[in-house]
Amino acid sequence: MTKIKSLKDVKALSPKAKILLGAGLFVLVAAAGLVVKSLTAKSAGTGPRMGTVAVEIAPVSEGTIRDLGLFSGTLVPKSQFVVAPKVSGKLKKLYVDIGDRLSDGQLIAQLEDEEYQQAVLQAEADLNVAKANLEEARSALELAKKELERSESLYTKGILSNAQIDAARAQANAQDSKYKVAVAQVSNREAALEAARVRLSYTRITATWDKGNSARFVGERFAYEGALLSSNSQIISVLELEPITAVIYATDKEYFRIKPGQEVAVSSTAFPGRVFQGAVTRVAPMLQEASRQARVEIDIRNDEAVLKPGMFINVEIEFARRERAKLVPFSALVQRGGRQGVFLADPNALTAAFTPVTVGIVEGELAEVLEPADFAGFAVVLGQHLLQDGMGILLPEKTPAPAKAKPAAAVPAGR
């Protein structure tokens, strides 16, 4: 190893050795500079953890926050059924069309009924014949009874033989049987007449229902005048739109929090800024295996019938509400050392301190702070991801003053 004692020794070195010597000297100078800079920073009270970050802050506020479940779904009729004829025939007249309002028992269509009227006339004629036969049988029975009474009187006097009295009794019994048959025939013809009249009434097609709102609407038309219909051929569909039903699907996370009777707010992009009132009516007792979701039905007031089946809707279900909650912007929440917290700024000292917090309800851009109980001050909402505990901060010229947050929008009446 060559020892360097003077500049003469340096000049005597080979080119390669000179390069290595220069590199070594550069590293030594750089290391010395870093040591000096570190010592200077420590003496000045600054350093890598005590740098300065430009931030924005917002006051910790107090207000109302809600735990909301947000869902999307579609509207379906509260009830729906199809009107169809019970007998076949040609559609002679259709009195309603799509969108028409219906009342219970309203006549909506008429089939050609000549054949059914003729059947009624035939049944009436058959009934008249049966009644005439009944009268004839009644007269014959009365005559047979009188003959039997006379024969029994003569038999007691010994004038008639046993054979003669037996013949008289048999004749009376035969006439009684014929009378009973005639009575049965009259009943049969009366039933046939009533059936013919019922079939005739089926040519007048009405829309009837037992439950729900007294007013319905024609949803679809499936036949036109002149069409030859068979029994059960669809003519129109009838919808109940007040109330109307919203259908949503909930995962197991929300499923157990939804209960019948919970009030909801429903909105649609078709009516910006308008909220419709509703309530949960039915919750399916099972989750569908394919989607792991459960069907939930909500009845919505639809007095003006502006909501229509098939519309896309958004649903808010309020699970909880807290008044006078301590609130910070959700953006203020950060993770440090595996803990969630907020950097609280000291506008006077221009420093930021990390404060671990327990978060409660999150609604939109606001988060509720449950702990610590004395949580207050200014939260760093911009630049917080560059901060470490105790770092210096730079604030805009105008620093916000502490203020209470505006309460959450009041829930409309009926929710």
Give the CATH number, domain containing residue 55.
2.40.420.20
Co-location of 167 and 101 in the same domain: no
Query: CA nearest 363: which of 320, 411, 403, 324?
Result: 320
- Whether 40 maps to a domain, the answer reads no
Co-location of 139 and 192 in the same domain: yes
Query: CA nearest 179: which of 215, 145, 146, 138?
Result: 138
Co-location of 57 and 169 in the same domain: no
Q: CA angle, corner 196, sides to 192 and 197, nearest 5?
A: 120
Count of domains for the chain? 4
- Whether 22 maps to a domain, the answer reads no
Cα separation, 47 vs 61, whole angstroms: 33
Q: What is the CATH number of the domain that holds 98?
A: 2.40.50.100
pLDDT at residue 14, as a whole number: 61
pLDDT at residue 25, as a whole number: 56
pLDDT at residue 12, as a whole number: 57
pLDDT at residue 38, as a whole number: 42
Cα separation, 323 vs 65, whole angstroms: 7
The one-character DSSP state at 191 is H
- Whether 13 maps to a domain, the answer reads no
Q: What is the CATH number of the domain that holds 143?
A: 1.10.287
Q: What is the CATH number of the domain that holds 269?
A: 2.40.30.170
Asked which of 240, 260, 291 is the last residue of a domain, the reply is 240
Co-location of 157 and 291 in the same domain: no
Co-location of 88 and 221 in the same domain: yes
Non-local (6+) Cβ contacts of 102 within 8 A are: 96, 108, 207, 215, 216, 217, 218, 238
Where in the sequence is the domain holding 349, given as residue range(s)? 49-66+322-394
Co-location of 84 and 228 in the same domain: yes
- Whether 60 maps to a domain, the answer reads yes
Co-location of 245 and 292 in the same domain: yes
pLDDT at residue 409, as a whole number: 43
Co-location of 223 and 363 in the same domain: no
Co-location of 293 and 357 in the same domain: no
pLDDT at residue 414, as a whole number: 37
Successive 10-residue mean pLDDT values, the chain, 415 residues: 50 58 53 43 44 89 90 93 93 94 93 94 95 92 87 83 86 90 94 94 92 85 94 93 92 91 92 92 93 94 88 92 92 92 92 93 91 92 90 77 45 37
pLDDT at residue 145, as a whole number: 87
Co-location of 101 and 166 in the same domain: no
- Whether 16 maps to a domain, the answer reads no
What is the Rg, in whole angstroms, of the alpha carbon atoms belonging to the chain?
48
Asked which of 304, 320, 336 is the last residue of a domain, the reply is 320
- Whether 383 maps to a domain, the answer reads yes
Indicate the SS3 state at residue 223: coil
Co-location of 100 and 170 in the same domain: no
Non-local (6+) Cβ contacts of 381 within 8 A are: 55, 56, 57, 58, 329, 331, 332
- Whether 33 maps to a domain, the answer reads no
Co-location of 164 and 287 in the same domain: no
- Whether 7 maps to a domain, the answer reads no
What's the token pair of residue 310?
């098939």
